[in-house]
Amino acid sequence: MSNVHEYKMFKYFNRKFTVSEQSPPSDVREVFSAFSDGASTLSADQLLRFLHQHQLEPDYTAQDSARILQHVLHSRQQNHDADECHGLTLDEFFRFLFLLGYNDPLKSQVHHDMNAPLSHYFIYTGHNSYLTGNQLSSDCSDVPIIKSLQRGVRVIELDLWPNSTRDDIEVVHGRTLTAPVKLMQCLKSIKEYAFVKSEYPVIITLEDHLTPFLQAKAAEMITQIFGDMLYYPQTDLVTEFPTPESVKGRILISTKPPKEYLESKQFKDSDSERESVDEGSASPCIITEVEVDEKLNGNDLEEEGLNARDRKPDQPSAFEYKRLITIHAGKPKGPVRDHLNISGDVKRLSLSEQELEKASASYGSDIVRFTQKNIIRVYPKGTRVTSSNYRPHIGWMYGAQMVAFNMQGHGKSLWYMQGMFRANGGCGYVKKPSFLIENDPQNEVFDPKRKSPVKTTLKVKVYMGNGWSTDFSKTHFDAFSPPDFYTKVCIVGVPADKANKKTKVIQDDWFPVWDEEFEFPLTVPELALLRIEVREYDKHEKDDFGGQTCLPISELKSGFRAIPLHDEKGDRFKSVKLLMRFQFT
């Protein structure tokens, strides 16, 4: 054996992998003593009082506390002692606080009013939902659609184009090298997975680059595949969107009506090709809308291989496509303000992140007023070719319901999106705060950039964390010693509420104890998220990632809470969690 190898082995066997035993922090000891009236155990009645008064969980019953007591007692190694003791010891109470089923930071059930129009909700929305990776060369597939639905995404976007022989429909990102997938396959997967995570409606936004014949074919596919699951209005006049409750378990279609492609001047002038491509990105054109329109009027039909199928269908066929559309969509040409007319039928307006930011700087109140009744969809700018995302609050602050994200584009922005939709039981619909739905008593519209008084102060105490030694290899963070963890605690919301704090670094410990408290004054807590991230300090390289989560502050439960952490994609770790306390003053 070489000397170098012997040295490496020596270092390996001399690594410090001590396991420290975590004990209850002083706050837990004080609360235990207070609710046990100084006794050595906590009875079921005393536990119920703790749940009601400290955890502010009024729904717990005496039966619940008795069941919790038995659950914890029966987890003792010596079960024969469980019947002899009628309460929890301090250590058992401490371990109970780490149980996610009883001390989750959020409610697990739907609890918002679901009987308001769709325009009154933030909706979990995907962008180019069929892409497996970047916007230019990744494959198109139904797999990312399935994954999105399994995560609770409620709006799926499909870009529809004719295939090479113009007799079928492909889902593909236009004017790129992405490989297509059949529309039929995508629709079947949507049907199968639409309601595995949430029973509330799935909205399919179609970006339609089809010939009239293929529009009719798309209508036939949609109707046949979804059957009774498909919802569409029974009248052409739609002055209010349906409610999530009324269309539970249904599929809704949102796109431009066919007449906008065939009759609107915007698709017949020099800007037509630009206006018809993918919202915010470059798209391929097997055949442009202008070319289709010209050919349908008799130009070079035979030469280009178009036949009778590509000619304008009769009125019943066109009607079949149009009647399936529940949410009529449009992308503005010209100043955005000109399209914020709130009279007549309700509609969906699509804006790029840049368009929204520019418009909100000049007439944000008009945007908020528009979204009180209509829907705005915000999509990533075209330069985000790596499928990165923007900060979703640029849309949420102005009431935009469909803030569309690349669900394969991992990073902080996607963590915010995932955090927002952990609210309301993770059903994919979050009721907008009242100030985004209606005007204030002075009939003024909410302005997120206006400095408002502090509504509440959130106190966040980070006690400790564990689970890394279970979920990670012993050498994941450091080859020769335990990790050096610290926790970042941040507020993301309106500009006035932004804040970033972090704990001290705990060196060489798989079971770090920080015991630090931070205060966050909040002016608009209804739109704020609490971002929690654990990192492992490294003085020479970038700090290693140790877990994250984002939590909607409007739904945060008070008291001691077990906080499960997630990986960079948003998947929950099996064991890693923090013990924290939240208080509102």
What count of other Cβ atoms lies within 10 Å of the Cβ of residue 391?
15
Please say if 52 is a catalytic residue.
no
**What span, in angstroms and rounded, lies between the C-alpha atoms of 110 and 224?**
31
**What span, in angstroms and rounded, lies between the C-alpha atoms of 298 and 25?**
81
| DSSP codes joined into one string, 243-281 | PTTTTTT-EEEEE--HHHHHT-GGGTSTTHHHHHS-TTS
Residue 282 region by backbone torsions, left for phi larger than 0, else alpha for psi between -120 and 50, else beta:
beta
Name the active-site residue from 112, 120, 173, 328. 173
- Kindly provide the residue ranges of all beta strands, DSSP E only, lying in 209-358, ordered along the sequence: 251-255, 325-330, 348-352
Residue 72, classified by CB atoms within 10 Å of its CB into exposed (0-12), middle (13-18) or buried (19+), is buried
Counts for the chain of helices (H) and strands (E), in that order:
17, 19
Contact 432, 122 (CB under 8 A): yes
**What span, in angstroms and rounded, lies between the C-alpha atoms of 585 and 575?**
31
Q: What are phi and psi of 542, to 5 degrees?
A: -65, 140
Name the active-site residue from 112, 120, 127, 328. 127
Closest CA to 316 of 207, 215, 168, 184: 215
Contact 256, 207 (CB under 8 A): no
Terminal-to-terminal C-alpha distance of the chain: 65
| Helices 26-35, 44-53: inter-axial angle, 10-degree rounding | 120
What amino acid occupies position 557? K
- Tokens 């368009």 locate to 355
What count of other Cβ atoms lies within 10 Å of the Cβ of residue 480?
11
| DSSP codes joined into one string, 41-72 | SB-HHHHHHHHHHTS--TT--HHHHHHHHHHH
Please say if 74 is a catalytic residue.
no
Hey, what's the torsion of the CAs at 327, 331, 337, 340, to 10 degrees?
-10
- Tokens 């449009």 locate to 330
Positions marked catalytic? 127, 173
